[in-house]
């Protein structure tokens, strides 16, 4: 677990993607890792001082020039980099297709409480622990405390409706849904938006014991409306521009919130391994006795940060 010294200043990360973003802040630091035990991150993370107590860490998941498609984003490396920066919580900004009549693209916001993962499991990492058997609960994929704080900030600023709850359907992409697929996705339990990047990002953040929440910007109606125009890149970018100023206002409001109250969240996100590491089923101490010094060194470098390695 992080020490009190490591928690100062309070750092929260914003992972952005398709939506154009000009933070308008003075850069204070740039954290670059050419590699992590999980590969190279999308790009260097940039730090901004929001106020005397809070720093913002910005990361574009698609990398410079938006060169990484959803299937090629190095999700595990990105989360590991944020861990090494002592990030306390993550706000994910996500451009999404809308799946409900009650949501107005280009105006409303969505803070989902569930995901339904339909991504291709062979392409994206599903765990930060590929060398061991570690089983944690993903029953609630988003931090409830972060969701409350984001809802409070968004509700005070958004001129549209802020939809609190619902299932975020995640598909592989990069193409958009067929009409048949879109209509089928609407039948998923409480489905409200559809996107391509929230998983495995949310699962990995949970394993990293980082509080994680999605703020979804509905940019289109996917392709389920019989009399509606199916999603196009032109339509999506046009609607996303409408959210630019609002997203910045929400980020600043969160920074002020964290400055006023940065006490540990009472949500359990930092205790997913269990009080006695019950989630770790592997006898790591026994396994290390069978490893070469080189292999033990590799494993320690990769997993010491999680607090699961024996002394």
Q: What angle do CA 11, 16, 19 make, to 5 degrees?
A: 145
117 included as an active-site residue: no
CA distance 60 to 78: 10
> In the prediction, which pLDDT does 27 show?
79
Q: What are phi and psi of 242, to 5 degrees?
A: -70, -20
Quick one: which H or E segment has residue 246? helix 244-260
The domains of the chain are located at 5-274, 281-311
**283 CB contacts (<8 Å, ≥6 apart)?**
none
Q: Active-site residue 220, yes or no? A: yes
Distance of CA 293 to the CA centre of its chain: 35
| Three-state DSSP class for residue 207 | helix
Query: Pick from 128, 91, 135: which is nearest to 306 by CA?
Result: 128
What pLDDT does 123 receive? Answer: 92
Fold designation for 5-274: Rossmann fold (3.40.50)
Residue numbers in the chain where pLDDT is lower than 50: 1-7
Q: What distance in Å separates the CA atoms of residue 210 and residue 218, rounded to the nearest whole number?
A: 25
Q: What is the pLDDT of residues 200-234, one digit of tens each?
A: 999 999 999 999 999 999 999 999 998 888 988 88
Strand-pair partners of 169: 116, 194
Q: Which of 175, 214, 161, 182 is nearest to 16 (CA)?
A: 214
Other residues' Cβ atoms within 10 Å of the Cβ of residue 275: 6
Which of 108, 117, 221, 222 is flagged as catalytic? 222
Name the active-site residue from 220, 257, 261, 283: 220
Task: Identify which of 295, 279, 266, 176 has the alpha carbon closest to the alpha carbon of residue 224.
Answer: 176
pLDDT of residue 21: 61
Instruction: Specify the pTM.
Output: 0.93
């Amino acid at each position: 677990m992080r020490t009190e010294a490591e928690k100062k200043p309070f750092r929260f990360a914003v992972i952005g993607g398709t939506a154009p973003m000009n933070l308008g802040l003075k850069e204070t630091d740039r954290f670059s890792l050419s590699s992590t035990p999980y590969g190279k991150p999308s790009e260097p993370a940039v730090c901004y001082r929001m106020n005397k107590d809070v720093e913002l860490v910005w990361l574009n998941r698609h990398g410079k020039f938006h060169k990484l498609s959803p299937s090629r984003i190095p999700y595990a490396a990105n989360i590991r980099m944020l861990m090494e920066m002592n990030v306390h919580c993550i706000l994910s900004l996500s451009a999404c297709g809308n799946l409900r009549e009650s949501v107005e693209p280009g105006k409303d916001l969505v803070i989902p409480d569930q995901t339904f993962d339909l991504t291709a499991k062979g392409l994206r990492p599903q765990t930060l622990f590929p060398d061991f058997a570690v089983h944690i609960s993903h029953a609630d994929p988003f931090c409830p405390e972060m969701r409350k704080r984001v809802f409070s900030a968004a509700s005070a600023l958004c001129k549209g409706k802020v939809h609190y709850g619902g299932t975020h359907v995640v598909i592989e992409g990069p193409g958009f849904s067929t009409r048949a697929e879109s209509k089928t996705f609407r039948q998923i339990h409480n489905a409200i938006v559809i996107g391509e990047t929230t998983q495995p990002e949310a699962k990995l953040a949970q394993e990293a014991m980082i509080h994680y929440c999605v703020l979804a910007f509905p940019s289109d109606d996917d392709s389920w409306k019989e009399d509606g125009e199916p999603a196009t890149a032109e339509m999506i970018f046009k609607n996303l521009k409408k959210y630019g100023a609002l997203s910045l206002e929400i980020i600043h409001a969160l920074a002020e919130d964290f400055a006023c109250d940065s006490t540990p969240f009472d949500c359990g996100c930092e205790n997913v391994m269990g009080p006695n590491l019950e989630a770790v089923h592997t006898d790591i101490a026994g396994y290390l006795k069978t490893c070469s010094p080189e292999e033990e060194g590799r494993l320690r470098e990769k997993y010491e940060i999680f607090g699961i390695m024996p002394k």
